[in-house]
Structure 1
Amino acid sequence: MNNKVLFILLVSIFFSTSMMITGCKKSEINPYTTGDVNIVGYLEKNIDSFSLFKQILDRTGNSAFLNAYGAYTIFAPTNSGVKTWLTKINAATVDAADMTKLQDMVKFHLLVDTITTSAFKDGKLPVPTMLGQFLVTGVGAKGGVSSYLVNRQAMISKSNIKVGNGIIHVIDNVLEPSTLTIAKQLEAKAEYSIFVQAMKETGYYDLLNTVDADTTKRWMTVIAESNKAFADSGITSYSMLKAKYSKTSNPSNTNDSLHMYMAYHILSGIKFLGDIITSPSHQTLQPQEVVSVQLKDQEVVLNEVEFNGVFEKGITVNRTSSDNAATNGVWHDAQAHFTLKFRKPTALFWEVTTFSEILKLPAYYKKQNYTWTRQSESDQPLKDIVWGWGPLAGTNTITYYYNSSSSNSITGYGAVNFDAIQMPMGLPNRPIWWELTTPPIIKGKYKVWICYIQRKQSSGSNELCQVSINGDVMPNTMNFTQTRPSGTDPELEAIGWKRYTESTNAIYAGRLVGVYDFKTTKRQTIRFTPLNGTQNDNYLDMIQFIPIDDQSQYLPRFKTDGTKIYQ
C-alpha cells in the first residue's frame, strides 16, 4: 500500500469516527474558533484589528512565548481601544510608552489557564491575571446589545476564540489594573471620610494599605460605610462615632468597641459579591464573629436573622458601588450603618418542622402530610435538610408528618404542634445520614437535647444514632426506638433524659447528646448517622440548645399548640 492510499484511508477512518461521535453527542460550533494558529498567529491573521496590541507584545518580549505551546487566556484589545489608552497615559505611540506600563498592561490581560465564558459569573474569574490581580466579569449593554463586561472597563465583542495555545476574548478597551490599596481608594473618596478616620484611629488603615508579597496573606475584603449611611443612623462625624462606640477612649485597643466595629467590617481573603453570596456566613477579623449573607430578589443582604421569634432586618449591599478591586483586595458599599451585636447565650427551642419549603405550602403545614422524594443522588429537594443517598435508593424521602387526632399514636398524643419530620435511615436502602442546618445560635456552651417521638417499625427494630455538630461527634448516642425512662425531672436530667412536652407519654423523649461550645454566632449543622438498625419510622419533633448556665434544662415544656409552660 503506497503512502497516498494510506493517507486517504486514514482520513476516511477519521471522518467516519467523527460522524459517529457527533451523531451521539451534541457539538457546539463557534464561528470564531480556529485551532490552526496560536495567540500571536491569530493576531497576525487579523492585523487590521490588533496591530497595536501585537506591537506591544513585540516590544515587551511576549510575542515569542505567546506563539509557543501553552494554555492561556488573553483579553485582546482592538486598535481603537489601545489608541484610547495610549492617549490616556500620554504616549503618542507604543514606542513612546513607558516600558513598565506596557509590561503590566500585558500581564493584566493574560491568564495562565484556559477560561471560556462558561466560567464567567457575576464576580471575579477563578484565577488571577499574570499581574496578580483578579478580573471581574458581568453583563452590560452597548448600543442596545448585551455582552460580557470585564472590570466595568471593556465589552467583549468576540468570545471563546480557540487557538492552539488557549482562548482569546476580543475587547473594545484596554483593561487598567488597580494601582491603589483599599485604604487609599477609600481615602480618595470624600464620602467615606468618617469610615476612613475610624480606620486610621483603630490601626486598620495600615493593614489595608499593605500589599503583602505573600499572596496567601495579601487579600482582604472591606464592607465600607459612607457618610450617608452613618448620617441615616444619626452619626454625622467621626467624633460622634467614637463617642458612641469607643468605651476605652483608645480605639487601637483590641478590646475597644470601635476597634471591634472596624474589625467586623473586614473579611480575610478577596471576596467579590459573586463570592460572598456562595456562603451563608463569612468570618470577620473580629475573632469568632461572622456576617451572615442572603440573596433576596437579587439583593445581597447582610445579617438578616430571626432570634427567638424576633426579626432583625438586614443591611443591603449597594451592587452598583461595590466590587471595587484594589491592589490588596476588594471593597463594597453598605447601604446602612451596621455593627456586631453582643449577645449572651440564649436558649433555642427549635421546631425542626418549620423549614421554609413546608411553610410555603399552607395547604399542608399544620394540616396534612407532605413527602419529598429525591429523584437522583444529585437531587436535594430541601435547602436546610439534606441526607445521604442510600446505596440501593429504595427509600430516599422525607415526610412532613401531621396528625392532631387524639387517637393517633405518633403526633396526636402530645407532639408540639402535632407535627414532626419523618426521617427514614439505615443501610442498605435508606438514607445513610441526615444533616439539618439550624437557625442562628449565639456563641457559647450549650446542652443539646434531641426531642423525638419513639417508634418501632417492628418488634426487633433498633435505630441507634451518632449525633455530630459541625462535624464534631457528640459524646452520647440516641436511639429513635427507645422510650423515655421513668423518674422525676431531676432524676431524668441526671441520666441525660427529660420530658419536653406537656404529655406524660413516654414516647415523647428528650435525649441529651452532650455539651457543645459554639465558637461563632451563626447557623450551625447537626447530623444524625445510624450506627445500628434501619427503619422508616424515625420522627424528630424538636432540637433544643440550652445554655449550660441556665437554671433549668427541663423547663419550659411545650403544649401541643407550641405554648411554653413552666411546670
Structure 2
Amino acid sequence: MKNKLSYLVAVSLLLSFAVVQSCQKMEIKIETTGDVNIVGYLEKYPDSFSLFKQVLDRTETSAFLNAYGAYTFFAPTNSAVKTWLTQSGFSSVEAANIETLKSIVQFHLIMDTLTTTSFKDGKLPVPTLYGQYLITGVSNKGGSSSFIVNRQALVIKSNVRVGNGFIHEIDHVLQPSTTTLAKQLEAKPEFSIFVQAIKETGLYERLNTVDADTSKRWMTLLAESNRVLADSGIHSYADLKAKYSNTGNPTNPADSLHIYVAYHILTGVKFLGDIISTSAHQTLQPQEVVSTQLINSEVILNEDMFNGVLEKGVTLIRDVSDNAASNGVWHDAGGHFTAKYRPPTAVYWDVSTFTEIMKMPANYRKANFDFRRQTEADQPLKDIYWGWGPLAGTNTFTYYYNSTNSVGRYAVNNDVNQLPLGLPNRPIWWEMVTPPIVKGKYKIWMCYSRSKQSSSSNQLCQVTVNGELMPRTFNFTELRPKGSDTELEAIGWKQYTETRAYSADSNYAGKLVGTYEFKTTQRQLIRIIPISGTQNNNYLDMIHIIPVDDNQLLPKFATDGSKKYN
C-alpha cells in the first residue's frame, strides 16, 4: 500500500511540478525497489550524465524519478546537453531558463515502460509528460543503423533496465514543438501557395490555435507543396483560386476552395502509423473522408476502385512527413488532390473478389481454398472477419469454386464465400469491409446460393450495417419464391442472376434486408449474425447496395460476371 501511495503521489507531482514549484514542499516518504532507479543510474555514470542530473535537480524532479514507478526516460549525454546549452544561448544549466528546463524534462519522459520493440516507423504509443508524442525510426549512416528519435537524436544505448523503468541514452537533447501547424508551414517558402489558401479561406486561425481543450486541440494537415501544385498546372495562388473558388468568396464554407482546404485537415493528431491503422479518416469538410491504405510500404490516400475503375491515389512522402507541431502534425503530400463529389452509385459487390484469393492464380476462379484461424488471435484475411467458434474445425473460411454443382454452377463467376455460422459451436458472426460506397441512401440486398445440409437445417440471419440493425432477416436455407420480377420486389425478393428456368436457378436468391443512409463516402462494414439454426454450408455470392431511386432489379448477372439488362 505504501508503494502504491508513493507512486500515485510521485505521478501527481510529476505532472504538476511546472505549476506548483512555488508552493510549499511536501515531505514524502518514497519507497523504491532494491534496483538502481533512473536518477541512480545517472549518478552512477557522472562522466556521461552529470549535466542532465543537474537539470533534474534544478527542476526538483530528481526525487520523483528516484521513486517507485514505471517510466521510459530518454537520457541525453553530457555532450548533448552542452550542445543544447550553446545553441540555446545558455552558459550553464544554472543559467538556463527554468521553464524551458521543465519542458525539456517532461519531453524526455514517458509514463510507461517502452523498449525498442515499440520503436516502429512512427510515433510511440504513449505521449510524453509534455503532452506531445515522440516519433522513432531507423537512421542508416556509414553502413550502420541506429534508432533515431524525433529526427533529432540517435539512440546510442537502448533498453537499459532500471528499477523504475527503462532508459535509452541519446546523443542530442530532444526539443518539443513550440509552433503551430500554421506557423510551421508558413515558415517554409516551398508551401507558400497552400499557406495563402489557408489564410484566404479563414482556416489559418484554426490551424494557429492551441486549444486548451485537448479534445479540440489536435489536427492533422495534409499539405501540398508548390511543386506538387505546379505538376497540376497551378503556379500561383491566383491559379488555385481560379480553379476552385466557384463563389469568389473562399471564406464561404460552400466555396470549392474552402472545401479543398478543409478536405486537407483531419480531425485529431494522426501520425503515419495512425493513418494506416484505419481505412478512412474524417476531415474538416463535413461528411467527407480521406481513404487510406498501405501499399508496398507507402502510405496512399484515396486510391480506390469505383465501378471497376482504379482511381490512383496520392502518396504521403514518408521521410518528410510526421512533422509534430504544438497543435498537431502535418504531412507532405506527393500529389494534388481534393474532395470528389459523386452521386450515389450502385455497388454490385462480388464478395469472392477479395485480395488474398485474387493473389492465388492456382485457386482464384479455379479451385477451393480454406483460410484457417488456428488460434483466436489469427487474422488470415484483411477485410473479412468472423467470430471465434469453440470448435477449431469451424474456424475456417472457404473460398468455394465449382462450375458444375448446384452451389456454384449459376453463381456469379461460379464462386461463393462459405462460412460456418451458428451457436453453440460455430462462429456467431461474419463481418466484411465493403468497397467504397458514395454517401447516400441505399437498399441492401443479400444475394446467396441456397443450401441445406439436412432436411431440418435452418440458418436465419440478421444484418447490421456499420453497427445499425437492418429491419429484415434472410435465411441461407430458403429458396427464392416464384413470381415475376415485380411480384418478387414487392415482397422484398429478386432474381439477381440472369433469367433461367425456375427449377434451374431458384437456389440463387436476392433478399432485401433494409435501407441504410451512408453519411460519408468510404468503405463500410457489414456483419451477418445468425439468430436461429446452425450449419457449415452458408454460401454468400454477392451483396447489392443500390441507391433507393435506382432500378433494384437490373442488371442481372451471368456466370461470367457480365451484366444483363433484360
Shared fold per TM-score greater than 0.5: yes
Distance 1:398 1:191 in 2: 51
Distance 2:431 2:308 in 1: 23
- Give the aligned partner of residue 106 of structure 1: 105
- Give the aligned partner of residue 318 of structure 1: 317
Residues 392 and 428 in structure 1, CA contact (< 8 A), matched pair in contact too: no
- Give the aligned partner of residue 452 of structure 2: 456
| 1:430 lines up with 2:430 in the alignment | no
Residues 318 and 335 in structure 1, CA contact (< 8 A), matched pair in contact too: yes
**How far has the Cα of 1:268 moved from its partner?**
1.1
Residue identity matched to 2:286: P
- Give the aligned partner of residue 419 of structure 1: 415
Over residues 290-334 of structure 1, what are the superposed CA-to-partner deviations in whole Å (9 max), with x where a residue is unaligned? 111111111111100110111100101111111111111110000
**How far has the Cα of 1:141 moved from its partner?**
3.2
**How far has the Cα of 1:462 moved from its partner?**
0.6
Distance 1:166 1:228 in 2: 46
Q: How many residues align?
A: 530
461, 465, 472: which is aligned to 2:468? 472
Structure 2 SS opposite 1:465: strand
* % identical aligned pairs: 68
- Give the aligned partner of residue 343 of structure 1: 342
Structure 2 unaligned residues grouped into runs of 5+:
1-32
Residue identity matched to 1:410: V
- Give the aligned partner of residue 525 of structure 1: 525
- Give the aligned partner of residue 491 of structure 1: 487
Structure 2 SS opposite 1:394: helix
Distance 1:381 1:111 in 2: 34
| 1:441 lines up with 2:440 in the alignment | no
**How far has the Cα of 1:122 moved from its partner?**
1.5
- Give the aligned partner of residue 263 of structure 1: 262
- Give the aligned partner of residue 5 of structure 1: none
- Give the aligned partner of residue 406 of structure 2: 409
Structure 2 SS opposite 1:357: helix
Structure 1 SS opposite 2:362: coil
Over residues 259-285 of structure 1, what are the superposed CA-to-partner deviations in whole Å (9 max), with x where a residue is unaligned? 111111111111111111111111111
Distance 2:399 2:127 in 1: 46
- Give the aligned partner of residue 382 of structure 1: 381
Distance 1:144 1:409 in 2: 61
- Give the aligned partner of residue 29 of structure 1: none
Q: Pairwise mapping of residues 87-98 of structure 1 onto structure 2 (< 5 A)?
A: 87-98=86-97
Over residues 341-389 of structure 1, what are the superposed CA-to-partner deviations in whole Å (9 max), with x where a residue is unaligned? 0000000111111111111111222222222222122222222111111
**How far has the Cα of 1:132 moved from its partner?**
1.8
- Give the aligned partner of residue 355 of structure 2: 356
Distance 2:52 2:200 in 1: 46
Distance 2:380 2:114 in 1: 32
- Give the aligned partner of residue 159 of structure 1: 158
**How far has the Cα of 1:532 moved from its partner?**
0.8
Residues 391 and 427 in structure 1, CA contact (< 8 A), matched pair in contact too: no
Distance 1:370 1:169 in 2: 47
Structure 2 SS opposite 1:160: strand
Distance 2:207 2:219 in 1: 8
Over residues 221-264 of structure 1, what are the superposed CA-to-partner deviations in whole Å (9 max), with x where a residue is unaligned? 10000000000000011111111111111111111111111111
Distance 1:40 1:540 in 2: 62
Give the TM-score taking structure 1 as reference length: 0.91
Distance 1:410 1:164 in 2: 63
**How far has the Cα of 1:173 moved from its partner?**
0.7
**How far has the Cα of 1:113 moved from its partner?**
2.5
Structure 2 SS opposite 1:320: helix
**How far has the Cα of 1:142 moved from its partner?**
4.6
Structure 1 unaligned residues grouped into runs of 5+:
1-33
**How far has the Cα of 1:415 moved from its partner?**
1.7
**How far has the Cα of 1:421 moved from its partner?**
1.4
Structure 1 SS opposite 2:392: coil
Distance 1:363 1:41 in 2: 62
**How far has the Cα of 1:392 moved from its partner?**
2.5
- Give the aligned partner of residue 327 of structure 1: 326
- Give the aligned partner of residue 23 of structure 1: none
Residues 35 and 162 in structure 1, CA contact (< 8 A), matched pair in contact too: no
Residue identity matched to 1:447: K
**How far has the Cα of 1:143 moved from its partner?**
4.7
Residues 365 and 415 in structure 2, CA contact (< 8 A), matched pair in contact too: yes
Residues 463 and 469 in structure 2, CA contact (< 8 A), matched pair in contact too: yes
Q: Pairwise mapping of residues 280-319 of structure 1 onto structure 2 (< 5 A)?
A: 280-319=279-318
Distance 1:530 1:285 in 2: 38
**How far has the Cα of 1:431 moved from its partner?**
1.9
**How far has the Cα of 1:515 moved from its partner?**
0.4
Residue identity matched to 1:487: G
Residue identity matched to 1:347: A
Distance 2:166 2:215 in 1: 27
Residues 374 and 392 in structure 2, CA contact (< 8 A), matched pair in contact too: no
Distance 1:356 1:161 in 2: 42
Moved more, 36-45 or 231-240: 36-45
Residues 71 and 165 in structure 2, CA contact (< 8 A), matched pair in contact too: yes
**How far has the Cα of 1:70 moved from its partner?**
2.9
Residues 222 and 264 in structure 2, CA contact (< 8 A), matched pair in contact too: yes
Distance 1:341 1:391 in 2: 45
Distance 1:166 1:394 in 2: 43
- Give the aligned partner of residue 136 of structure 1: 135
Residues 219 and 267 in structure 2, CA contact (< 8 A), matched pair in contact too: yes
**How far has the Cα of 1:76 moved from its partner?**
0.9
Q: Pairwise mapping of residues 2-401 of structure 1 onto structure 2 (< 5 A)?
A: 36-401=35-400
Over residues 519-544 of structure 1, what are the superposed CA-to-partner deviations in whole Å (9 max), with x where a residue is unaligned? 11111111111111111221111110
**How far has the Cα of 1:40 moved from its partner?**
1.5
Over residues 415-463 of structure 1, what are the superposed CA-to-partner deviations in whole Å (9 max), with x where a residue is unaligned? 2112211222112222221111111111100001111111111111111
**How far has the Cα of 1:35 moved from its partner?**
5.8
Over residues 66-91 of structure 1, what are the superposed CA-to-partner deviations in whole Å (9 max), with x where a residue is unaligned? 22333322211101111111110112
Residues 423 and 537 in structure 1, CA contact (< 8 A), matched pair in contact too: yes
Residues 393 and 429 in structure 1, CA contact (< 8 A), matched pair in contact too: no
- Give the aligned partner of residue 12 of structure 2: none
Distance 1:477 1:380 in 2: 28
Distance 2:67 2:484 in 1: 81
- Give the aligned partner of residue 31 of structure 1: none
Residue identity matched to 1:170: E
Over residues 175-200 of structure 1, what are the superposed CA-to-partner deviations in whole Å (9 max), with x where a residue is unaligned? 11112100000000000011101111
- Give the aligned partner of residue 515 of structure 1: 515
Give the TM-score taking structure 2 as reference length: 0.91
Distance 1:379 1:98 in 2: 52
